[in-house]
């Protein structure tokens, strides 16, 4: 059974880069043509989908984050990574990695989430 | 952007009662691409319903999704103790947006 696990620093300073890794276990990341999405949830607020990385390498970022966001695949490590540059307090959230057969969900498989706080 | 408005914000009910949750979209959701999730404190969301009315694998039949266009409903026929949680709707017909959630709490 496939599992996703987010990892990375829990505290990032304003203006710096938030970097997270989603490690996939139980399946190979480049098999099956899945879309790996990142979804975030600021404390007490609504979920926000921020984009996907397809196992083929295709990416999509939501327009509001496109200028600051990079997603990538590491096939050898079976990982998907997220980098969000020039962060502010508004980027404080639980970041979830998820997997779907479709680019915009719905999502059955989710990681447990990683809380990232932006603060000096 | 399609805005999803969920109501009520909080539903206070007792185990065994019926819960009716609403999700209203600001524009028609194409192909009924509307999903419902359950989220418990400190956990990732769990997919319950997709395509407006199809249950995800392993979801008990007390959960029913219905509706079309701009008005969707999640019904829990008889609340079990493990059903007290927050429920979100999500549309994936045009980009992705989520509703603000309905908290189902024990009365």
What pLDDT score does B10 carry?
Answer: 97
pLDDT higher than threshold 90 for residue B83: yes
What pLDDT score does A10 carry?
Answer: 97
What pLDDT score does A31 carry?
Answer: 81
B25: left (phi over 0), alpha (psi -120 to 50) or beta: beta
Task: Name chain A contacts of B56, Cβ cutoff 8 Å.
Answer: 106, 108
pLDDT digit string (tens) for B54-74? 999 999 999 999 999 999 999
Task: Name chain B contacts of A5, Cβ cutoff 8 Å.
Answer: none
What pLDDT score does A35 carry?
Answer: 95
Cβ–Cβ contact B95 with A under 8 A: yes
Q: Which of residues 33-92 of A touch B (CB under 8 A)?
A: 46-49, 62
pLDDT higher than threshold 90 for residue B15: yes
- E strand or H helix that includes residue B106: strand B102-106
Residue spans of chain A under pLDDT 70: none
What pLDDT score does B42 carry?
Answer: 86
pLDDT higher than threshold 90 for residue B75: yes
């Amino acid at each position: 059974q496939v599992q996703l696990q987010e990892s990375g620093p829990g505290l990032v300073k304003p203006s710096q880069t938030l970097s997270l890794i989603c490690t996939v276990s139980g399946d190979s990341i480049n098999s099956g043509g899945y879309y790996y999405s990142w979804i975030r949830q600021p404390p007490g607020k609504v979920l926000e989908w921020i984009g996907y990385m397809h196992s083929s390498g295709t990416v999509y970022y939501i327009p509001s984050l496109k200028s600051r966001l990079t997603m990538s695949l590491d096939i050898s490590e079976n990982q998907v990574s997220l980098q969000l540059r020039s962060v502010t307090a508004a980027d404080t959230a639980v970041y979830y990695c998820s997997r779907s057969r479709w680019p915009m969900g719905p999502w059955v498989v989710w990681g447990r989430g990683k809380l990232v706080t932006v603060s000096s | 952007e399609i805005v999803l408005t969920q109501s009520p914000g909080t539903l206070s009910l007792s185990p065994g009662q019926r819960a009716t949750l609403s999700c209203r979209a600001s524009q028609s959701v194409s192909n009924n691409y509307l999903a419902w999730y359950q989220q418990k404190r400190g956990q990732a969301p769990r997919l319950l319903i997709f395509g407006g009315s199809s249950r995800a694998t392993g979801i008990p039949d007390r959960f029913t999704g219905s509706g079309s266009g701009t008005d969707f409903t999640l019904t829990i026929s008889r609340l079990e103790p493990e059903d007290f949680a927050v429920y979100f709707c999500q549309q994936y017909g045009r980009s992705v947006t989520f509703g603000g959630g309905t908290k189902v709490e024990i009365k």
